[in-house]
Amino acid sequence: MSSTTTFARPSPKISIAKLSFPAPRVLLVKISRPTALNAIAISGSWELASLFEWFDEEPSLWVSIVTGEGRTFSAGADLKAWNDEIGSGSFGEMPSSGFAGLSRRTGKKPVIAAVNGIAYGGGFEAVVNCDLVIASATAKFCFPEVKRGVAPFAGAMPRLIRTIGKQRAMELMLTGRVLPAQEAKEWALVNVVCPEGRDVVEEALKWAKMIAENSPDSVIVTKQGINWGWEGVGADEGTRISNSLWHHKLLAGDNIKEGLQAFVEKRNPKWTDSKL
């Protein structure tokens, strides 16, 4: 898949990132401001928000990977632009999906973070809310906001505690210390740390392909069910909501029929693009 002509509608125009399609059903988003350590201004977050909204609605794309160009995933907010905006009184609002369109995103389809270098501030906030995190051995994570007189307002403050607990979240956010990739894995913030010499995007692509081998309907419904717990809904209430919203839609779709028939016939299923 190499041309937007295969899409239901063209992707939005993006200046902040490079787009590619390294495997069927997979979108790769490479944040591309390497000379600025992939720092993102508010306008860039709006661009990426529109991109991930398009991804959710594009039937032929089932999984996305986000990474950074060069040696950095993202150093966070573009503080030079932020300083100019604060000084001029023209500070803009972040999109509802947060920093990079990811830190508060509740979209339908999974996004994998391929953290190729430092993920600081908003970059780290985006990673916290991604669905899988694959990190290079040299990746580093940090919330330096307390050292700049600001705070991580893009969604990570209430979310981080759900992954690593109160004391560890306090440790990271109140001290601004740097967290190495291996320690982040031990804290359950990272799924896989790539060994030295292995490309982190290639590793993320391996996981994206595994997800894309499954029913896209099931992936969407399962991600939504997990998200209810992530957003703080109790287990019984989350189950009730998931069942009421998705159960009948899943049963009415073509992919559940194909999956069950393939099991009976002892063959691999042939999934179709989700209509959910």
Q: Which residues are catalytic?
A: 77, 122, 125, 145
Torsion, CA 196, CA 208, CA 65, CA 97, rounded to 10: -130
Whole-number Å distance between alpha carbons of 186 and 157: 20
Phi/psi region, residue 90 (left: phi>0; alpha: psi -120 to 50; beta: rest), is alpha
Q: Are 152 and 121 in contact (CB under 8 A)?
A: yes
CA nearest 76: which of 26, 147, 163, 5?
Answer: 147
Whole-number Å distance between alpha carbons of 23 and 57: 18
Going by C-beta distance under 8 Å and a sequence separation of 6 or more, which residues neighbour residue 198? Answer: none
Work out the angle between the directed axes of helices 254-265 and 216-230 (0-180°, nearest 10). 120
Q: How many residues does the chain have?
A: 276
Residue with tokens 């990132």: 17
Phi/psi region, residue 249 (left: phi>0; alpha: psi -120 to 50; beta: rest), is alpha
Q: Which residue type does 141 have?
A: F
> Around 167, how many Cα atoms within 13 Å sit in the side-chain half-sphere?
1
Going by C-beta distance under 8 Å and a sequence separation of 6 or more, which residues neighbour residue 160? Answer: 128, 169, 172, 173
* Number of C-beta neighbours around residue 155 at 10 A: 21
